[in-house]
Amino acid sequence: MKYTKNKLEQTENFEIIRKRSAIITKIRSYFQTNGYLEVETPILSPELIPESTIEVFETTFSSEFHGERQFYLIPSPEVFMKRLIAQGSGSIFQITKSFRNNEQIGKDHNPEFTMLEWYTIGSDYMDSIKRTEALFESLTNGNTPEWFRPPFLQKSIEEVFKEYVSIDLLKCQTKTLIRNEAVRLGLSPNKTDSWEDIFNRIFLSFIEPELPKGKPIVLYNYPRQIQCLAKEIKGTPWRERWELYVKGNEIANCYTEEIDRRKVKTFFEIEYSKKAVSARVISDIDNKYYQIFDNNYPECSGVALGVDRLIMLLTRSTSIEGVILFPFSAMMEE
Protein backbone atom coordinates (compact mmCIF):
# COMPACT_ATOMS: atom_id res chain seq x y z
CA MET A 1 0.00 0.00 0.00
CA LYS A 2 1.57 3.27 -1.07
CA TYR A 3 2.10 6.14 1.30
CA THR A 4 -0.25 8.31 -0.67
CA LYS A 5 -1.75 11.74 -0.45
CA ASN A 6 -4.78 10.65 -2.43
CA LYS A 7 -8.03 10.35 -0.68
CA LEU A 8 -8.33 6.84 0.68
CA GLU A 9 -11.62 6.08 -1.02
CA GLN A 10 -10.08 6.76 -4.38
CA THR A 11 -7.39 4.12 -3.96
CA GLU A 12 -7.98 0.50 -4.83
CA ASN A 13 -6.42 -0.33 -1.48
CA PHE A 14 -9.44 0.87 0.38
CA GLU A 15 -11.03 -2.53 -0.15
CA ILE A 16 -8.02 -4.18 1.51
CA ILE A 17 -8.21 -1.83 4.48
CA ARG A 18 -11.81 -2.86 4.99
CA LYS A 19 -10.96 -6.54 4.63
CA ARG A 20 -8.17 -6.13 7.16
CA SER A 21 -10.58 -4.64 9.65
CA ALA A 22 -13.10 -7.44 9.05
CA ILE A 23 -10.48 -10.19 9.56
CA ILE A 24 -9.28 -8.67 12.82
CA THR A 25 -12.87 -8.40 14.03
CA LYS A 26 -13.38 -12.11 13.27
CA ILE A 27 -10.20 -13.12 15.09
CA ARG A 28 -11.31 -11.19 18.14
CA SER A 29 -14.77 -12.63 18.03
CA TYR A 30 -13.43 -16.20 17.66
CA PHE A 31 -11.36 -15.96 20.84
CA GLN A 32 -13.98 -14.10 22.81
CA THR A 33 -16.63 -16.69 22.07
CA ASN A 34 -14.24 -19.52 22.94
CA GLY A 35 -13.49 -18.43 26.48
CA TYR A 36 -10.30 -16.43 26.06
CA LEU A 37 -9.80 -13.12 27.81
CA GLU A 38 -8.44 -10.33 25.65
CA VAL A 39 -5.52 -8.55 27.28
CA GLU A 40 -3.44 -5.50 26.47
CA THR A 41 0.12 -5.54 27.74
CA PRO A 42 2.85 -2.91 27.31
CA ILE A 43 4.85 -2.66 24.13
CA LEU A 44 7.57 -0.73 25.96
CA SER A 45 9.31 -2.95 28.44
CA PRO A 46 12.37 -2.50 30.68
CA GLU A 47 13.24 -6.20 30.28
CA LEU A 48 12.77 -8.82 27.61
CA ILE A 49 13.11 -12.56 27.29
CA PRO A 50 16.58 -12.98 25.80
CA GLU A 51 16.48 -14.41 22.28
CA SER A 52 19.88 -14.40 20.70
CA THR A 53 18.60 -14.34 17.12
CA ILE A 54 16.30 -11.34 17.47
CA GLU A 55 17.53 -7.78 17.34
CA VAL A 56 15.37 -5.34 19.30
CA PHE A 57 14.68 -1.62 19.30
CA GLU A 58 15.89 0.34 22.27
CA THR A 59 14.73 3.68 23.56
CA THR A 60 15.34 5.84 26.61
CA PHE A 61 12.75 6.97 29.07
CA SER A 62 13.92 10.29 30.47
CA SER A 63 12.18 12.37 33.02
CA GLU A 64 13.28 15.18 35.28
CA PHE A 65 11.42 13.45 38.08
CA HIS A 66 12.41 9.84 37.56
CA GLY A 67 15.75 9.98 35.81
CA GLU A 68 16.61 7.85 32.83
CA ARG A 69 16.02 4.22 32.03
CA GLN A 70 16.45 2.04 28.95
CA PHE A 71 13.30 0.48 27.52
CA TYR A 72 12.80 -1.91 24.65
CA LEU A 73 10.03 -2.37 22.13
CA ILE A 74 8.71 -5.89 22.58
CA PRO A 75 9.55 -8.45 19.87
CA SER A 76 6.48 -10.36 21.11
CA PRO A 77 4.12 -9.94 24.08
CA GLU A 78 5.24 -13.25 25.63
CA VAL A 79 7.15 -11.68 28.52
CA PHE A 80 3.99 -10.07 29.90
CA MET A 81 1.44 -12.68 28.91
CA LYS A 82 3.30 -15.39 30.83
CA ARG A 83 3.25 -13.17 33.92
CA LEU A 84 -0.52 -12.83 33.59
CA ILE A 85 -0.87 -16.61 33.41
CA ALA A 86 1.22 -16.88 36.58
CA GLN A 87 -1.27 -14.54 38.22
CA GLY A 88 -4.17 -16.78 37.28
CA SER A 89 -5.54 -15.08 34.18
CA GLY A 90 -6.65 -18.32 32.54
CA SER A 91 -6.58 -18.58 28.73
CA ILE A 92 -5.72 -15.23 27.14
CA PHE A 93 -5.20 -13.66 23.75
CA GLN A 94 -3.83 -10.42 22.43
CA ILE A 95 -3.49 -8.64 19.10
CA THR A 96 -0.60 -6.26 19.45
CA LYS A 97 2.16 -4.42 17.66
CA SER A 98 5.54 -6.13 17.94
CA PHE A 99 8.92 -4.94 16.74
CA ARG A 100 12.01 -6.55 15.32
CA ASN A 101 15.10 -4.73 14.22
CA ASN A 102 17.66 -5.71 11.59
CA GLU A 103 15.40 -7.87 9.44
CA GLN A 104 14.96 -7.26 5.78
CA ILE A 105 12.06 -5.01 4.87
CA GLY A 106 9.58 -6.01 2.21
CA LYS A 107 7.57 -9.04 1.22
CA ASP A 108 7.41 -10.85 4.59
CA HIS A 109 8.86 -8.38 7.04
CA ASN A 110 8.02 -4.97 8.40
CA PRO A 111 10.01 -3.89 11.48
CA GLU A 112 6.72 -2.99 13.18
CA PHE A 113 4.12 -5.70 12.70
CA THR A 114 0.90 -7.02 14.17
CA MET A 115 1.02 -10.21 16.15
CA LEU A 116 -1.75 -12.40 17.46
CA GLU A 117 -0.61 -14.37 20.47
CA TRP A 118 -2.74 -16.71 22.51
CA TYR A 119 -2.21 -19.09 25.42
CA THR A 120 -4.51 -21.97 26.19
CA ILE A 121 -4.46 -23.32 29.73
CA GLY A 122 -4.39 -27.10 30.09
CA SER A 123 -3.42 -27.58 26.44
CA ASP A 124 -0.38 -28.86 24.63
CA TYR A 125 0.98 -28.06 21.17
CA MET A 126 -1.13 -30.72 19.46
CA ASP A 127 -4.33 -29.27 20.97
CA SER A 128 -3.24 -25.93 19.59
CA ILE A 129 -3.21 -27.30 16.04
CA LYS A 130 -6.93 -28.03 16.40
CA ARG A 131 -7.51 -24.59 17.89
CA THR A 132 -5.70 -22.95 14.97
CA GLU A 133 -7.71 -25.00 12.49
CA ALA A 134 -10.93 -23.85 14.13
CA LEU A 135 -9.73 -20.24 14.00
CA PHE A 136 -9.02 -20.61 10.27
CA GLU A 137 -12.50 -22.05 9.70
CA SER A 138 -14.02 -19.07 11.46
CA LEU A 139 -12.22 -16.58 9.23
CA THR A 140 -13.66 -17.65 5.91
CA ASN A 141 -17.32 -18.52 6.53
CA GLY A 142 -17.22 -21.89 4.83
CA ASN A 143 -16.08 -20.42 1.53
CA THR A 144 -12.53 -21.54 2.15
CA PRO A 145 -9.97 -22.02 -0.61
CA GLU A 146 -8.15 -25.36 -0.50
CA TRP A 147 -4.78 -23.81 0.34
CA PHE A 148 -6.25 -22.34 3.53
CA ARG A 149 -8.70 -25.07 4.48
CA PRO A 150 -8.19 -27.30 7.51
CA PRO A 151 -7.33 -30.00 8.32
CA PHE A 152 -3.69 -28.97 8.01
CA LEU A 153 -1.16 -31.44 6.69
CA GLN A 154 1.11 -32.52 9.52
CA LYS A 155 4.67 -33.75 9.22
CA SER A 156 7.43 -34.02 11.76
CA ILE A 157 10.81 -32.45 11.11
CA GLU A 158 12.23 -35.97 11.26
CA GLU A 159 9.91 -37.02 8.41
CA VAL A 160 10.60 -34.05 6.12
CA PHE A 161 14.36 -34.47 6.49
CA LYS A 162 14.01 -38.10 5.42
CA GLU A 163 11.61 -37.27 2.62
CA TYR A 164 13.32 -34.23 1.05
CA VAL A 165 17.02 -34.83 1.68
CA SER A 166 17.28 -38.47 2.85
CA ILE A 167 18.73 -37.47 6.19
CA ASP A 168 17.96 -39.42 9.33
CA LEU A 169 18.30 -36.71 11.95
CA LEU A 170 18.30 -39.31 14.73
CA LYS A 171 21.63 -40.48 13.33
CA CYS A 172 22.98 -36.94 12.90
CA GLN A 173 22.98 -35.62 16.40
CA THR A 174 26.58 -34.42 16.37
CA LYS A 175 27.92 -31.46 14.46
CA THR A 176 30.34 -33.61 12.44
CA LEU A 177 27.60 -35.97 11.30
CA ILE A 178 25.18 -33.27 10.19
CA ARG A 179 28.03 -31.35 8.56
CA ASN A 180 28.89 -34.42 6.47
CA GLU A 181 25.31 -34.54 5.24
CA ALA A 182 25.32 -30.82 4.38
CA VAL A 183 28.51 -31.25 2.37
CA ARG A 184 27.02 -34.29 0.60
CA LEU A 185 24.15 -31.98 -0.48
CA GLY A 186 26.60 -29.48 -1.93
CA LEU A 187 26.37 -26.87 0.85
CA SER A 188 29.37 -25.09 2.33
CA PRO A 189 28.92 -24.90 6.10
CA ASN A 190 31.31 -22.68 8.05
CA LYS A 191 33.86 -23.88 10.54
CA THR A 192 32.16 -21.84 13.22
CA ASP A 193 28.66 -23.16 12.46
CA SER A 194 26.67 -24.65 15.30
CA TRP A 195 24.56 -27.79 14.80
CA GLU A 196 21.55 -25.50 14.53
CA ASP A 197 23.19 -23.39 11.80
CA ILE A 198 23.88 -26.45 9.67
CA PHE A 199 20.35 -27.74 10.29
CA ASN A 200 18.99 -24.38 9.12
CA ARG A 201 21.20 -24.32 6.01
CA ILE A 202 19.78 -27.67 4.93
CA PHE A 203 16.22 -26.83 5.90
CA LEU A 204 16.23 -23.44 4.16
CA SER A 205 17.94 -24.65 0.99
CA PHE A 206 16.10 -27.88 0.26
CA ILE A 207 13.02 -28.23 2.44
CA GLU A 208 11.30 -24.93 3.19
CA PRO A 209 11.10 -23.79 -0.47
CA GLU A 210 9.67 -27.18 -1.51
CA LEU A 211 6.94 -27.49 1.11
CA PRO A 212 3.46 -28.12 -0.31
CA LYS A 213 1.53 -24.95 -1.10
CA GLY A 214 -1.85 -26.41 -1.93
CA LYS A 215 -2.69 -27.12 1.72
CA PRO A 216 -1.58 -25.56 5.01
CA ILE A 217 1.17 -27.66 6.58
CA VAL A 218 2.32 -27.93 10.17
CA LEU A 219 5.90 -29.04 10.78
CA TYR A 220 6.22 -30.36 14.32
CA ASN A 221 8.79 -31.70 16.79
CA TYR A 222 11.75 -29.40 16.26
CA PRO A 223 15.26 -30.34 17.38
CA ARG A 224 16.24 -29.66 20.97
CA GLN A 225 19.42 -28.05 19.73
CA ILE A 226 17.35 -25.03 18.73
CA GLN A 227 17.06 -23.22 22.05
CA CYS A 228 13.59 -22.01 22.88
CA LEU A 229 11.00 -22.15 25.64
CA ALA A 230 9.24 -25.19 24.20
CA LYS A 231 9.08 -28.29 26.37
CA GLU A 232 11.44 -31.14 25.57
CA ILE A 233 9.98 -34.53 24.69
CA LYS A 234 11.48 -37.02 27.11
CA GLY A 235 13.68 -39.71 25.62
CA THR A 236 13.90 -37.97 22.22
CA PRO A 237 15.97 -35.16 20.72
CA TRP A 238 12.82 -33.12 20.01
CA ARG A 239 10.80 -30.32 21.50
CA GLU A 240 7.03 -29.83 21.52
CA ARG A 241 7.03 -27.07 18.95
CA TRP A 242 5.45 -26.53 15.54
CA GLU A 243 5.49 -24.02 12.73
CA LEU A 244 2.61 -23.48 10.33
CA TYR A 245 3.23 -22.75 6.64
CA VAL A 246 0.49 -21.51 4.35
CA LYS A 247 1.34 -21.26 0.65
CA GLY A 248 4.99 -21.51 1.64
CA ASN A 249 4.75 -18.61 4.10
CA GLU A 250 5.61 -19.15 7.74
CA ILE A 251 2.50 -17.92 9.52
CA ALA A 252 2.53 -19.17 13.09
CA ASN A 253 4.57 -21.04 15.65
CA CYS A 254 3.58 -22.86 18.77
CA TYR A 255 5.06 -24.45 21.85
CA THR A 256 3.92 -26.51 24.69
CA GLU A 257 5.36 -23.96 27.08
CA GLU A 258 8.30 -24.85 29.27
CA ILE A 259 7.15 -24.31 32.85
CA ASP A 260 10.02 -25.98 34.69
CA ARG A 261 11.64 -23.02 36.41
CA ARG A 262 15.16 -24.51 36.34
CA LYS A 263 14.94 -24.98 32.60
CA VAL A 264 13.63 -21.46 32.09
CA LYS A 265 16.51 -20.15 34.19
CA THR A 266 19.04 -22.09 32.14
CA PHE A 267 17.48 -20.84 28.92
CA PHE A 268 17.79 -17.24 30.11
CA GLU A 269 21.44 -17.78 31.02
CA ILE A 270 22.38 -19.45 27.74
CA GLU A 271 20.54 -17.01 25.49
CA TYR A 272 21.67 -13.94 27.42
CA SER A 273 25.30 -14.97 27.12
CA LYS A 274 24.89 -15.63 23.37
CA LYS A 275 23.21 -12.27 22.98
CA ALA A 276 25.99 -10.53 24.86
CA VAL A 277 28.40 -11.73 22.17
CA SER A 278 26.36 -11.20 19.02
CA ALA A 279 23.60 -8.65 19.51
CA ARG A 280 23.78 -4.94 18.74
CA VAL A 281 21.37 -4.13 21.54
CA ILE A 282 21.73 -6.28 24.63
CA SER A 283 18.38 -5.91 26.30
CA ASP A 284 18.12 -6.21 30.05
CA ILE A 285 16.58 -9.31 31.51
CA ASP A 286 14.65 -9.88 34.69
CA ASN A 287 16.97 -12.23 36.59
CA LYS A 288 14.07 -13.46 38.67
CA TYR A 289 11.68 -14.08 35.79
CA TYR A 290 11.98 -17.86 36.18
CA GLN A 291 10.44 -17.55 39.63
CA ILE A 292 7.00 -16.95 38.13
CA PHE A 293 7.06 -20.63 37.17
CA ASP A 294 6.12 -21.96 40.58
CA ASN A 295 4.27 -25.17 41.35
CA ASN A 296 0.95 -23.56 40.55
CA TYR A 297 1.93 -22.44 37.06
CA PRO A 298 -0.49 -24.26 34.74
CA GLU A 299 0.45 -26.45 31.79
CA CYS A 300 -0.28 -24.38 28.70
CA SER A 301 0.41 -23.94 25.04
CA GLY A 302 1.13 -20.65 23.27
CA VAL A 303 0.76 -19.71 19.62
CA ALA A 304 2.10 -16.61 17.90
CA LEU A 305 0.64 -15.76 14.52
CA GLY A 306 1.73 -13.05 12.08
CA VAL A 307 -1.46 -11.12 11.40
CA ASP A 308 -0.09 -9.10 8.47
CA ARG A 309 1.02 -12.28 6.70
CA LEU A 310 -2.36 -13.86 7.35
CA ILE A 311 -4.15 -10.85 5.88
CA MET A 312 -1.75 -10.78 2.94
CA LEU A 313 -2.76 -14.34 2.11
CA LEU A 314 -6.48 -13.86 2.64
CA THR A 315 -6.55 -10.76 0.43
CA ARG A 316 -4.35 -12.42 -2.25
CA SER A 317 -1.74 -9.70 -1.81
CA THR A 318 1.83 -10.49 -2.81
CA SER A 319 3.55 -8.61 0.00
CA ILE A 320 2.68 -7.66 3.56
CA GLU A 321 3.36 -4.10 2.51
CA GLY A 322 0.15 -4.35 0.54
CA VAL A 323 -1.90 -4.79 3.72
CA ILE A 324 -0.07 -2.46 6.11
CA LEU A 325 -1.03 1.20 6.21
CA PHE A 326 2.11 3.30 5.84
CA PRO A 327 4.64 0.48 5.43
CA PHE A 328 8.15 1.04 6.66
CA SER A 329 9.87 1.01 3.28
CA ALA A 330 7.72 3.88 2.02
CA MET A 331 8.59 5.91 5.09
CA MET A 332 12.31 5.17 4.56
CA GLU A 333 12.05 6.78 1.12
CA GLU A 334 10.55 10.00 2.43
Partner 1 sequence: MKAGAIDKGIALLIKGSPFIVVEREFVNPGKGSAFVRLKLKSPATGRVLKETMKTQDNVEEIIVEDKECQFLYSDEAAFHFMDTETYDQFEVPMVGFADYKLLMRDGDTYKVIMWEEKPLDIIIPYKVVYEVTEAFEGVKGDTVQGASKLVKIETGLEVKVPIFIKQGERIMINTETHEYVERVNS
| Residues at the interface with partner 1 (CB under 8 A) | 51-53, 102-104, 109, 186-188, 190, 193, 196-197, 200-201, 203-206, 208-209, 222, 226-228, 243, 250, 253
Assess contact for 217 and 159: CB atoms under 8 A: no
Assess contact for 318 and 248: CB atoms under 8 A: no
Assess contact for 249 and 108: CB atoms under 8 A: yes
Least CB distance to partner 1 at residue 15 (A): 12
| Closer by beta carbon to partner 1, 209 or else 214 | 209
| Closer by beta carbon to partner 1, 45 or else 76 | 76
| Closer by beta carbon to partner 1, 71 or else 241 | 241
| Closer by beta carbon to partner 1, 27 or else 304 | 304
| Closer by beta carbon to partner 1, 34 or else 200 | 200
Least CB distance to partner 1 at residue 209 (A): 7
List Cβ neighbours of 249 (8 Å cut-off, separation of 6 or more). Answer: 108, 309, 312, 313
Least CB distance to partner 1 at residue 248 (A): 11
List Cβ neighbours of 109 (8 Å cut-off, separation of 6 or more). Answer: 100, 103, 320
For residue 156, how many C-alpha atoms fall within 13 Å in the half-sphere facing its CB? 14
DSSP 303: E
Could you give the residue ranges of the DSSP H alpha helices within 141-224? 157-165, 175-184, 195-202
Least CB distance to partner 1 at residue 321 (A): 15
Least CB distance to partner 1 at residue 189 (A): 9
Assess contact for 307 and 251: CB atoms under 8 A: no
Distance (Å, whole) CA 81 – CA 64: 31
| Closer by beta carbon to partner 1, 23 or else 202 | 202
Looking at the DSSP bridge assignments, the partners of residue 92 are: 37, 119
